[in-house]
Amino acid sequence: MLIKIKKSAHAGDIQMIRQLLNRHNLGHRVINAGTETIIGVEANPSEEIARELNALSAVESAMPIATPYKLASLAAHPEKTVIRIGNIEIGGEAIVLMAGPCAIESQEQLEAVAEGLKGTGVSVLRASAYKPRTSPYSFQGMGEEGLKLHVSAKAKHGLLIETEVMDVRDVALVAAHVDIIRIGARNMQNFDLLKEVGKCGKPVILKRGMSSTIEEWLMSAEYIIAHGNPDVILCERGIRTFENATRSTLDLSSIPVLKRLTHLPVIVDPSHAAGRKDLIPALSAAAIAAGADGLLVEVHANPKKAKCDGKQALLPIEWAELVCLLKKVALAMGRSI
Amino acid sequence: MLIKIKKSAHAGDIQMIRQLLNRHNLGHRVINAGTETIIGVEANPSEEIARELNALSAVESAMPIATPYKLASLAAHPEKTVIRIGNIEIGGEAIVLMAGPCAIESQEQLEAVAEGLKGTGVSVLRASAYKPRTSPYSFQGMGEEGLKLHVSAKAKHGLLIETEVMDVRDVALVAAHVDIIRIGARNMQNFDLLKEVGKCGKPVILKRGMSSTIEEWLMSAEYIIAHGNPDVILCERGIRTFENATRSTLDLSSIPVLKRLTHLPVIVDPSHAAGRKDLIPALSAAAIAAGADGLLVEVHANPKKAKCDGKQALLPIEWAELVCLLKKVALAMGRSI
Amino acid sequence: MLIKIKKSAHAGDIQMIRQLLNRHNLGHRVINAGTETIIGVEANPSEEIARELNALSAVESAMPIATPYKLASLAAHPEKTVIRIGNIEIGGEAIVLMAGPCAIESQEQLEAVAEGLKGTGVSVLRASAYKPRTSPYSFQGMGEEGLKLHVSAKAKHGLLIETEVMDVRDVALVAAHVDIIRIGARNMQNFDLLKEVGKCGKPVILKRGMSSTIEEWLMSAEYIIAHGNPDVILCERGIRTFENATRSTLDLSSIPVLKRLTHLPVIVDPSHAAGRKDLIPALSAAAIAAGADGLLVEVHANPKKAKCDGKQALLPIEWAELVCLLKKVALAMGRSI
Amino acid sequence: MLIKIKKSAHAGDIQMIRQLLNRHNLGHRVINAGTETIIGVEANPSEEIARELNALSAVESAMPIATPYKLASLAAHPEKTVIRIGNIEIGGEAIVLMAGPCAIESQEQLEAVAEGLKGTGVSVLRASAYKPRTSPYSFQGMGEEGLKLHVSAKAKHGLLIETEVMDVRDVALVAAHVDIIRIGARNMQNFDLLKEVGKCGKPVILKRGMSSTIEEWLMSAEYIIAHGNPDVILCERGIRTFENATRSTLDLSSIPVLKRLTHLPVIVDPSHAAGRKDLIPALSAAAIAAGADGLLVEVHANPKKAKCDGKQALLPIEWAELVCLLKKVALAMGRSI
């Protein structure tokens, strides 16, 4: 249930509602959503309790919602969310292209990619300063120094920038530097991190966890929204299955499924799903045909020298060629790039 | 390894080669492929044995092949296989549409669907007379009577027909009635059935097993080819994962993966993967964008009365509308419907 | 629902019941279970229809059953099924040990294993004459000749024998030779084969499919029982997951789950699950501790020369040593070996 | 590779080694392990580089290790790690029992459980003050207040205490209160958290991620060890599969697999795997038979009122009864409780 509180309500009124919910063992959270105050309730109360709630003078409305995610649900918010950043819209008619290297490795490297992306319709330069690496002995990212290189590239190339944040202690710093924050697959259920980006004031790309159901994914989006940040972009990046021809199995069905459950935009990362660059064109085209609102693709000017994931990065020239195909597919789907 | 035998070779020559292979514990099979005789060998022999083989007068060539599937590999057969049936080609430039009900239930039902498909670009009427049902108490299909209805529909509507075979004892009967035989997901590793359809003389749609890797799938295709039938069409229909928003997880990555491994055509069944009809349009468009050579879709004139899988069947009118979209996507991909 | 028919009922009475069920679109099957006639019904009818059924003079009782499997359910048959073969009981207090080579390769090989098993508490010699092999070029089993060797070994060593059947056309032949028939994981949903072994008159070991849920597994058992054979032994052999340290992931939770759902005995095959022999002792002990009624283990006198699965076969001496441990674990669990 | 540095080495010497590694693009990390300094290297260098390293005067030894985890490997550390805390040993002959409620809910609740565990062989009281909940509206744990209740229970009942930590900012606080820190399944690849607990000075229970391979799990253990904490206890808690009779599929094969790869102790949490209490006895017995060094089980004095996971919690009386069985199984395995 979502309980909308009247603007005229006092702190005491809200306290009374919470006591009522506590009395019935109904988990909940008070959410300050812009100028509104909403109380999200874990489950739908009985009709009797619902009546009691509706009778309270501070309650503007109390909407029962069948799904465990509330604010993220289409039921609560029937119009599609369109996120505006700079001059782009994510979730609108146009499909947004985000591309760049896996990791920020040096100014030269980032420059070379940014240069290579010129004229290919990319509006967001992706790159990571903090890297979740399986091995403690592998390159762990450039950290703050990398963020600064990212900002320079933004200034020089007129691209928006997005990057991953892994540590709650880095959220403020990262949010101060980039336009879009990314939560990686391994952190999809790092709830403290979700709470923290909920307060960061920047749009968040939330990657699907490798073994997360669509419902769990939406619950993680709910965490971010319920902590104050409505600008969540879901990113399908493959799930773990027995098949090992690809690093993960890209679950493109999740796109039309999500479109029936949530108002949030959905993008696709074919690079981490495939783990090999030869599949990127087919998977990118398929993602757009399945209804994706954007793509997040790895491009590197010198993949053989990449400090991570070189095998899945396209060359800028390959990317440019792919975009030509993607424009046609977008058009066929009644959209544009 | 694939050993091509000279046309001039005698039975004794072949026997000698087999003895050599047996001596080295090399599993193998003599294959009569049209007018050619080939010996498929489980593994690649050592260089020494390979030299010994090449020196035999009956051996035309002995080609080592790195993958466990040999005849199905692109290495053995670099040109794409195009299967011609009636006036259609599967694996060519045009994308082939196959549609129809899950099961044959009655003449009226089959008629109604066939009528509904008119003018929608469908060239193959799919429908099953034998049904693999999880419950022994569920409708098991009309059997031979169903096959006859299928043949009538073919005559009346000028459609090719395809149907599933489950029992080795039915292969000859089924092959005598339909144009294309289908092996269901549950039988992908029913090796005796694969051997039998290898001898049936009709093209075979081989569905991917619910928990089969792409390599295992190609090994099952290899069984069919090695038993004499080169006309195998691979059909992606989803794999089993933890996600339950869909019945199976459609693995569209398998299409570009297969295109790099095999010369066989690949089609997609979005209906059984999704298990719900609202996802079919998105998944069909995505399948074509991913490079599929055809679609196998469930359409029923009265899904609510369907004896099985009604929830995933499109109405003819919905199908017709979908085809309009698919034509545009095919065009974007440089193909036609 | 299970409808028990009175012994006094006529064919016409049964026909009337079936018409009633058909009128309400209730899938069903008439089962001749020993001297009883039962009608298994796919779903539970509405209360009204249930009343109508109970009012029919030919109906002795009509028991609604909540699960989709009926005869296999504990609801329908609260006492544990104990299968008696020769002088052993499967599903009783004693844990039954079945061991032997993956495939029958020669008389010498089978002899060597049978000799090696002497005195180790094994009562059933497992070995396959028909082998489901991923590659058409691999050794496919000795067939009927292998069955004869199996029978000789039985005579000589006083062991019961069990073997796999893959092809419906071989069921009668196999049933005529061995004491227990095995359905392999790949054929768990080969429904025609299940129907056929339902009529074979010999106890059947039904292995769990690699990607089958416990419910689907019980539905396959239901097929066998509903076709006349109540002597089904379920065999857990691992499911397919992303983990590749083992060939399959042995799901020992399935044992206590099954014990709450069905009266059928449950055994475990640790060899195919692990795919490597070093894990067999730990998994065998764990299987017994989890409540298994028996084990099915691969033992080979010369694993390095084995034609298949040599890596997972124990030497007879290793097996003998393992049995010492297993006896202690069985005792701890209040059972015996 | 693991490079052991001589005690006599200077900072400059280490710097030189690092430069050599950097020159060859070999990721690495300097580890202060007690009084020793070790450099962990991502991959094994070529023989030539290895010779060069060995020739350096500061290098005591340079051991190539085949697996990606180095310090966690049996190759690097052939004797089993036995962790001593208070008067218990984890990884020794005796099997350690850890039990308690999912969450700390109140003093009364924690007291009631601790009382109930008396005399059941439990040495560690598990309970969580910080809870990773799928819903932002669910009870999130008592936090620091809960830690204090935990400490009181320890004092009163003479039990060691263990609890989960989720947020890097809480590690120091948690480590100051409890004897053993737990990393939950969702945080197994929260690398910043792993680094932080690497510095915390308390033994760490590292739960397996829901979709983590055994190798990835050991890599996460490596993170903790490489950041200074050798006292890692691996905890199997089930992996995510398609089977939904249980919440996760407990992978007991992981125990013997791990015993061949690592020197670290391995315990099992049957409660979270099963998600239902009726399976706990069978799974606990099986875990011990499979070689587990300990169990982590949920026990609650009033499961129906539990704020989370009540369905999987045993009553103290049920737990006491189970321990009687487990003692017998441990004895059968040559161990004790």
Rg of chain A on CA atoms, in Å: 21
The residue in chain C having the minimum alpha-carbon distance to the alpha carbon of residue B69 is C135
The residue in chain C having the minimum alpha-carbon distance to the alpha carbon of residue D247 is C253
Q: Which chains are within 8 Å of C by 3+ CB pairs?
A: A, B, D
User: Which residues of chain B are modeled with pLDDT < 50?
Assistant: none
Token couple for A7: 């603007």
| Chain B residues with beta carbon closer than 8 angstroms to that of A215 | 245
pLDDT tens, position by position, C51-63: 999 999 999 999 9
| Chain A residues with beta carbon closer than 8 angstroms to that of C240 | 242
Token couple for D109: 């609740």
The pair phi, psi for residue C257, each rounded to 5°, is -60, -50
In angstroms, the Cα distances linking C98 to A6, B123, C162, C302 are 72, 53, 9, 18
The residue in chain D having the minimum alpha-carbon distance to the alpha carbon of residue B247 is D242
Cβ C236 vs Cβ C208: under 8 Å: yes
Cβ B117 vs Cβ B135: under 8 Å: no
Q: From first to last of its 337 residues, what are the pLDDT tens digits of chain D?
A: 999 999 999 999 999 999 999 999 999 999 988 889 999 999 999 999 999 999 999 999 999 999 999 999 999 999 999 999 999 999 999 999 999 999 999 999 999 999 999 999 999 999 999 999 999 999 999 999 999 999 999 999 999 999 999 999 999 999 999 999 999 999 999 999 999 999 999 999 999 999 999 999 999 999 999 999 999 999 999 999 999 999 999 999 999 999 999 999 999 999 999 999 999 999 999 999 999 999 999 999 999 998 888 899 999 999 999 999 999 999 999 999 9
CA gap A186, B287 in Å, rounded? 28
Closest C-alpha to C291, from C264, C324, C319, C323: C264
- The greatest distance separating any two alpha carbons of chain A, rounded to the nearest whole angstrom, comes to 66
The pair phi, psi for residue A188, each rounded to 5°, is -60, -30
Residue B92's identity, in one-letter code, is G
Buried b (16+ CB within 10 A) or exposed e, A147-180: bebbeebbeebebbbbbbbbbbebbeebbebbbb
In angstroms, the Cα distances linking A321 to A127, A290, B225, B255, D225 are 21, 21, 37, 20, 46
Q: What is the β-pairing status of strands C122-126 and C96-100?
A: parallel
Task: Look at the block and give the residue holding tokens 């072949």.
Answer: B14
Mean pLDDT by 10 residues, chain A (337 residues): 95 94 94 91 93 93 96 97 96 98 96 96 97 94 97 96 98 98 98 97 97 98 97 98 97 98 98 97 98 98 89 96 98 98
Look at D190 and A187 and tell me if their CB atoms are within 8 Å.
Answer: yes
CA distance C275 to chain A (A): 16
Look at D286 and C286 and tell me if their CB atoms are within 8 Å.
Answer: yes
Cβ B101 vs Cβ B299: under 8 Å: yes
The helix (H) or strand (E) run that includes residue D98 is: strand D96-100
Cβ D97 vs Cβ D247: under 8 Å: no
CA gap C237, C231 in Å, rounded? 19
CA gap D221, B216 in Å, rounded? 34
Q: Residues 138-197, chain B: which have Cβ within 8 Å of C? A: 138-140, 166-169, 186-187, 189-192, 195
CA gap B323, B314 in Å, rounded? 12
Look at D257 and C246 and tell me if their CB atoms are within 8 Å.
Answer: yes
Q: Architecture of B83-332 per CATH?
A: Alpha-Beta Barrel (3.20)
Cβ B159 vs Cβ B122: under 8 Å: yes
pLDDT tens, position by position, C198-221: 999 999 999 999 999 999 999 999
Give the total residue count for chain B: 337
CA gap A279, A313 in Å, rounded? 11
Closest C-alpha to C254, from C303, C294, C293, C290: C290
Buried b (16+ CB within 10 A) or exposed e, A259-275: bebbbbbbbbbbbbbbb
Give the total residue count for chain C: 337
CA gap B50, B34 in Å, rounded? 25
CA distance D307 to chain A (A): 9
Per DSSP, what are the bridge partners of residue D182?
D164, D205
Cβ C233 vs Cβ C206: under 8 Å: yes
How many CB atoms lie under 10 A from the CB of residue C20? 16
Choose the mutation target among B135, B168, B194, B227 for the interface with C, i.e. most C CBs under 10 Å: B135
Q: Judging by beta carbons within 10 Å of its beta carbon (0-12, 13-18, 19+), is residue C9 exposed, middle or buried?
A: middle
Which candidate from B274, B285, B325 shows the least CB-CB separation from A253? B274
Domain ranges of chain A: 2-63, 83-332
State whether residue A298 sits within 8 Å of chain D by CB.
no
Q: Does residue A288 sit in helix, strand or coil?
A: helix
The pair phi, psi for residue A256, each rounded to 5°, is -65, -30
| Chain D residues with beta carbon closer than 8 angstroms to that of B244 | 244
Token couple for C257: 């789950």
The helix (H) or strand (E) run that includes residue C221 is: helix C214-226
The residue in chain C having the minimum alpha-carbon distance to the alpha carbon of residue A240 is C242
Residue D173's identity, in one-letter code, is L
Look at A167 and D168 and tell me if their CB atoms are within 8 Å.
Answer: yes
State whether residue B244 sits within 8 Å of chain D by CB.
yes
Residues 6+ apart with CB under 8 A from B110: B100, B101, B104, B125, B127, B149, B150, B153
In angstroms, the Cα distances linking C118 to C85, C281, C320 are 19, 19, 9
pLDDT tens, position by position, C245-284: 999 999 999 999 999 999 999 999 999 999 999 999 999 9
pLDDT for the residue B34: 80
Q: From first to last of its 337 residues, what are the pLDDT tens digits of chain C?
A: 999 999 999 999 999 999 999 999 999 999 988 889 999 999 999 999 999 999 999 999 999 999 999 999 999 999 999 999 999 999 999 999 999 999 999 999 999 999 999 999 999 999 999 999 999 999 999 999 999 999 999 999 999 999 999 999 999 999 999 999 999 999 999 999 999 999 999 999 999 999 999 999 999 999 999 999 999 999 999 999 999 999 999 999 999 999 999 999 999 999 999 999 999 999 999 999 999 999 999 999 999 998 888 899 999 999 999 999 999 999 999 999 9
CA gap B94, B336 in Å, rounded? 5
Cβ C245 vs Cβ C216: under 8 Å: no
CA gap A304, D153 in Å, rounded? 57
Q: Architecture of D2-63 per CATH?
A: 2-Layer Sandwich (3.30)
Q: Sheet containing D36-41: which strands, arranged edge to edge?
A: D28-33, D36-41, D2-5, D59-63
Please state the separation of Cα A10 from the chain's center in Å.
34
pLDDT tens, position by position, B267-326: 999 999 999 999 999 999 999 999 999 999 999 999 999 888 889 999 999 999 999 999
pLDDT tens, position by position, B188-199: 999 999 999 999
Closest C-alpha to A195, from A177, A171, A213: A171
Look at C135 and B189 and tell me if their CB atoms are within 8 Å.
Answer: no
Cβ D169 vs Cβ A170: under 8 Å: no
| Chain D residues with beta carbon closer than 8 angstroms to that of A219 | 134-136
Q: Which chains are within 8 Å of A by 3+ CB pairs?
A: B, C, D
CA gap D326, D289 in Å, rounded? 9
Give the total residue count for chain D: 337
Look at B213 and A291 and tell me if their CB atoms are within 8 Å.
Answer: no
Closest C-alpha to D164, from D189, D145, D147: D147
Token couple for D313: 């919690």
Look at D239 and C244 and tell me if their CB atoms are within 8 Å.
Answer: no
State whether residue D73 sits within 8 Å of chain A by CB.
no
Look at B288 and A283 and tell me if their CB atoms are within 8 Å.
Answer: no
The residue in chain C having the minimum alpha-carbon distance to the alpha carbon of residue A241 is C242
Q: Which phi-psi region, left, alpha or beta, contains residue B164 (left: φ > 0; alpha: ψ -120 to 50)? A: beta
| Chain C residues with beta carbon closer than 8 angstroms to that of D254 | 243, 245
State whether residue D254 sits within 8 Å of chain C by CB.
yes
Cβ A5 vs Cβ A39: under 8 Å: yes
Q: Which chains are within 8 Å of B by 3+ CB pairs?
A: A, C, D
In angstroms, the Cα distances linking A8 to A15, A59, C27, C68 are 14, 10, 61, 55
pLDDT for the residue C33: 81
C-alpha dihedral sign at A61, A66, A72, A75: negative
pLDDT for the residue A336: 97
CA distance B209 to chain D (A): 15
Choose the mutation target among B32, B137, B192 for the interface with C, i.e. most C CBs under 10 Å: B137
Residue C165's identity, in one-letter code, is V
C-alpha dihedral sign at A119, A124, A129, A135: negative
Residues A275/A281/A286/A289 CA torsion (nearest 10 deg):
140
Choose the mutation target among C211, C215, C252 for the interface with D, i.e. most D CBs under 10 Å: C252
pLDDT for the residue D7: 94
CA gap C178, C187 in Å, rounded? 19
CA gap D138, B152 in Å, rounded? 61
CA gap C292, C249 in Å, rounded? 17
Name the H helices within D68-213. Answer: 107-117, 144-157, 171-177, 191-198
CA gap A109, A90 in Å, rounded? 27
